Amino acid sequence: MAVKLMIPGPVDIPEEVRDAMAVPAMPHYGDAWIRLYGETQEMAKRVFGTHNDLYIMPGPGTMALEAALGSALEPGDTILIPSNGFFAERLQTMAKGLGLQVLSLTFPLAEPITAEPVEVALREHTEVKALAIVHHETSTGVLNPLQRVLEVARAHGVLTVVDAISSLGGVPLPVDEWGVDFCATVANKALETPPGVALLSISPEAWKAIEARQAPRGWYLDLKTWRWYMENWGSWHPSPVTMPTSNINALHTSLMALLEEGLETRYAQYRAAAVATRAGLRALEFPMFTPDEWASPLMTAFCMRPAVDADSLQQALLRDSGVMISGGLTELHGKILRVGHIGLARRRDYVVAFLLGVEDYLRQTGVAVAPGQSLGAVAQLK
C-alpha cells in the first residue's frame, strides 16, 4: 500500500516536481543557470510579496534563520522571541547559541502570540534590537496573527525576523506590506518540493544592520558573502557555493504551478482541507486542540476522545489505511495528533482516506460509528 503523507512535512509532491529532481546535472553558473535561478527568485518574490533581495540557500530553514540573526546582530545584542511552542523555543536556542541575549515572552500552547504583551515588553526593554517570531507554530497548529505584532515592532524600531518555514506559500504573508525585514522559508513545506534549500528575503533595513555588524561572522552564513557574489559575479555565478541545481529545478517547477494556479486558489484548497478535517473529526467526537480562530489551515492538531490512545490511533492509520500523521512533540506527546494538509494532502481523497481510517479504527476498538459519519459532516459544509 502506498503511504499517504499527512504530516507537517515532508509532503507528498506532484510527479512533475519529483521528475524535475532527476534532470541531468547542470552547472550552477552560465546563461542557462542564470535564467533558471533568476526566474526561480522572481517567482519566489511574488509568493513572498516582496521587492527585497531574496536568496536561495542550500540547507535547512533553521540555517537561513541563523544566517539572518547572526549576520544582523552582534553577540550580546538583545532579541525578543515570544514563544507558544517548540519551534519558537528552537529560535531561542539558536539565538542563545549565537551569543544573543534572549528576552522571552511565553504564551500558552494553543493560543496565539498577540501584540499587546509584545508592546509592553518593547516599551520596558528599549535595548531590544530585533524581534523573531514563528508564523505557523507547527507543534500546535497555531497560526500566529503576525500583522499587528510586526506593526508594534516597527513602531519601536526593531528588526523583524519571521520564521515562515511551514507557512509561506500556504497562507498570505505579504512581506513588504507587513514590514518583515527577514523572512525565511524552505522549499519543502508549502512550496511543495523535496527538502534541500531555504529561501530568505532581506529588507534594506536588514542590510543596514548587516553592514553595521563588526564581530567575526564566518563565511557561509554571513549574508555579506552572498551579496558579494550576487553583486560581483551575478551575471555568471550568482552564489558563493555550488548550488543544488536539481532541487532548485524542482522548486522552479513547483513555483510555476503554484503561480499559474494562483495563490488564492491554493490558499483556498488548504482552508477547505482543514475545515473538512476538523468537521469530520468533530463528528467523531474528537475535540480540536487549537480553536478555529487561530487554527492554521496547513495542519490540524486534535485531542483524543475518551478511551482512544493517540499512539495506537496513529499506528493503526499507517498500518491499516496507509495514512501517515504525526504525534505531539515533547509535552504534547500522547495528547494530540497532527494532520498535515500541504502537498497532495490538500486533495479531497487524502482527507477522505484519513477520516475513513479514523472511523475504521474506532469501530475496531468497539466504538459505534455509523459508516461515513465523518464524511456526512464534511458533506454538510457549504
d(CA 20, CA 334): 38
Q: Go through the chain and tell me how many residues it has.
A: 382
AA identity, residue 302: F
The answer to whether residue 71 forms part of the interface with a copy of itself (CB under 8 A) is: no
The answer to whether residue 373 forms part of the interface with a copy of itself (CB under 8 A) is: no
Q: Are 248 and 56 in contact (CB under 8 A)?
A: yes
User: Total number of residues binding a copy of itself (CB under 8 A)?
Assistant: 57
Stretch that binds a copy of itself, among 109-117, 128-136, 238-246, 367-375 (CB under 8 A): 238-246
Distance of closest approach, residue 314 Cβ to a copy of itself, in angstroms? 12
The answer to whether residue 246 forms part of the interface with a copy of itself (CB under 8 A) is: yes
The answer to whether residue 301 forms part of the interface with a copy of itself (CB under 8 A) is: no
Grid coordinates representing 35? 535564467
User: Measured from the CB atom, is 77 or 359 closer to a copy of itself?
Assistant: 77
Q: Applying CB under 8 A, which of residues 43, 55, 66, 88 lies at the interface with a copy of itself?
A: 66
Stretch that binds a copy of itself, among 112-120, 154-162, 217-225, 372-380 (CB under 8 A): 217-225
* Burial per residue of 290-301, b for 16 or more beta-carbon CB atoms within 10 angstroms, e otherwise: beeebbbbbbbb
Q: Applying CB under 8 A, which of residues 11, 162, 168, 377 lies at the interface with a copy of itself?
A: 11
The dihedral sign for the CA sequence 72, 78, 82, 85? positive
User: Measured from the CB atom, is 15 or 264 closer to a copy of itself?
Assistant: 15
The answer to whether residue 219 forms part of the interface with a copy of itself (CB under 8 A) is: yes
Kindly report the number of other CB atoms within 10 A of residue 89's CB atom.
17
The answer to whether residue 366 forms part of the interface with a copy of itself (CB under 8 A) is: no
d(CA 88, CA 329): 13
Q: Are 190 and 61 in contact (CB under 8 A)?
A: no
Distance of closest approach, residue 155 Cβ to a copy of itself, in angstroms? 30
AA identity, residue 154: R
Kindly report the number of other CB atoms within 10 A of residue 241's CB atom.
15
Site string for a copy of itself, 152-191 (x = CB under 8 A): ----------------------------------x-x---
Kindly report the number of other CB atoms within 10 A of residue 280's CB atom.
27
The answer to whether residue 139 forms part of the interface with a copy of itself (CB under 8 A) is: no
Site string for a copy of itself, 330-349 (x = CB under 8 A): -------------x------
Grid coordinates representing 178? 507587513
Grid coordinates representing 363? 469501530
Distance of closest approach, residue 247 Cβ to a copy of itself, in angstroms? 6
Grouping H, G, I as helix, E, B as strand and the rest as coil, residue 19 is helix
Q: Applying CB under 8 A, which of residues 206, 243, 299, 353 lies at the interface with a copy of itself?
A: 243
The dihedral sign for the CA sequence 132, 191, 346, 320? negative
Q: Are 37 and 245 in contact (CB under 8 A)?
A: no
The answer to whether residue 61 forms part of the interface with a copy of itself (CB under 8 A) is: yes
Q: Applying CB under 8 A, which of residues 120, 215, 379, 381 lies at the interface with a copy of itself?
A: 215
The answer to whether residue 222 forms part of the interface with a copy of itself (CB under 8 A) is: yes
286, 294, 291: which is closest to 310 by C-alpha?
286
Grid coordinates representing 348? 479531497
Q: C-alpha angle with apex 95: 90 to 97, nearest 5 degrees?
A: 95
Distance of closest approach, residue 177 Cβ to a copy of itself, in angstroms? 29
The answer to whether residue 231 forms part of the interface with a copy of itself (CB under 8 A) is: no
Residues that bind a copy of itself (CB under 8 A): 2, 5, 7, 9-13, 18-19, 21-28, 58-63, 66, 70, 75, 93-94, 96-99, 186, 188, 194-196, 215-222, 225, 240-247, 324, 343
